[in-house]
Amino acid sequence: MSEKEKGASMSVRDSNGSDGKPELRYQGAARQGMQELFDDWYEEMGHAKERGRYVVYNWIAGNLRELFLAFDMLNVYPEINSLQSGVKKQSLKYIIAAEEYGYSPDVCAYVKADVGLILAGMKHPRGKIPPPDLIFNNSFCNTFIKWSETLQRFHGAALATVDMPGRPKMIDYKPGDEEYDNQKRYVLRQLQEVIAVCERITGRKFDPDKLAEVEAESNKAADLYTKIIAINSHVPAPFEAMLDGLNILGVMNAMRGTEKCTSYMDAVLREMEERVEFGLGCGIEEKFRLILDGTPCWPYMRKFAEIFHVKGAIIIYASYLSATSGGWDGGFRFDTSRPLDSLADFALLANTPQAAATTLLHRLEPMREWAVRFQAEGVVFHSVKSCRLYSGGMADYREWLQSDGIPALMIESDIVDPRYFSEAQVKNRVEAFLESLEQKKFFSPAAPAR
């Protein structure tokens, strides 16, 4: 027995309870902690105005929340409000209200759910959503541009923009490169303009030391988040990426830069390490390890996942864990000795690579790498009806991966519009796909044991 195995054996023996079973100390941290943080956050939103808080509407993808935290502004995310209305099975009434108001069925369902929320007097299933003092617009997603303008028309708030230029190349794009340095000057000038707007709204002067403190806290959370994501390469997987993983990502995106977020990530990492130590897995029979490109249909989040789980299929990685996380698991960290300058690097290095990754070739290579890294046996593409930007090219990805020997499946529904989710259709496709994986295992001489 190796020293590592001896150590694990000792840990199990020393941690046994009186009934002979391992005495687990950290289980439940991910889900319970996330719920508590989001409950507190929505409570804070509901009382923001009466407590004198300034509110900024930000975007999860490409967000620069550290800058607004330096001004003690409350970050509110329309995307999260929309998906939460879906999770609470209330999104359809908002979507229908927006369509009756005049919005096309082809418009992003997140946008329509948000417009419907405004038409409903900002009464959300999670509580009252405060109106913004500032709307921050970035170019990570082309929908954000028009969505920000829509919010400005409804709320009459100030609108500040940082146009994050698309990354021109995937290699040799770094400080010292002419294209990079030119684009960084462009971003820095825009950041200075946003700072001037924040100073005018809040009456506070920009404090680079405060920004550095927030960035340092974000770095701590990022270190933990990276370890959490990496641990799911273990067999069996300690967490399910479609459920737990996306919840962990939500906390990272919406609350990083705070001690609460860092403490949460630390607790989650302990929970996952404990599962690995005792070989617990995520509590679902693991016959197939899959990667999901996209998100589930939020109104049917649990049902979406169960269709896979009942057949022993685990989503061990989801592209959203990287594509919308700000590039933390890719190694980016703030240089707190130059906080504003480093924020510009974040906009260029951590965000725009993901925008570039929406092109065909740049999204394909990471999928191949994830399949190897997480020992995945297939990739599932969720084509979202109302998000052509992210869903475009998925059929091509599927064909290319299959030509590389990586089985791939594409299913269709939506993010928060339940009218486009067909349980029977999704179930039939998933079951047929898993049957093909079963056949591949049976006839493969090198099939891994489960």
Long-range pairs of 309-313 with CB within 8 A, sequence gap ≥ 24? 309/240, 309/284, 311/287, 311/430, 311/431, 311/434, 312/284, 312/285, 312/286, 312/287, 312/288, 312/434, 313/287, 313/288, 313/430, 313/434
Residues 6+ apart with CB under 8 A from 422: 413
Under 8 Å between Cβ of 70 and 210: yes
CA-based angle 307:311:315, to the nearest 5?
A: 70
Left if phi > 0, otherwise alpha if psi is -120 to 50, otherwise beta: which for 20?
left
Tokens 């294209």 belong to residue: 179
Around Cβ 353, how many Cβ atoms within 10 Å? 20
Residues 6+ apart with CB under 8 A from 319: 291, 292, 293, 294, 363, 366, 367, 370
The four Cα atoms 366, 372, 375, 381 give a dihedral, to 10 degrees, of 30
pLDDT value, residue 14:
39
Domain extent listing, the chain: 31-443
pLDDT value, residue 23:
81
Cα 400 versus chain centre, distance: 25
Cα 133 versus chain centre, distance: 25
Q: What is the mean pLDDT of each run of 10 residues along the chain (450 residues)?
A: 35 46 84 93 96 94 91 96 96 97 94 97 96 92 90 96 79 83 95 98 98 98 95 95 90 94 97 94 92 91 94 92 71 94 89 48 78 93 85 84 92 94 95 93 60
pLDDT value, residue 161:
92
pLDDT value, residue 359:
52
Rounded Cα distance between 436 and 411, Å, is: 16
pLDDT value, residue 387:
82
CA-based angle 12:18:19, to the nearest 5?
A: 85
pLDDT value, residue 362:
65
Cα 323 versus chain centre, distance: 7
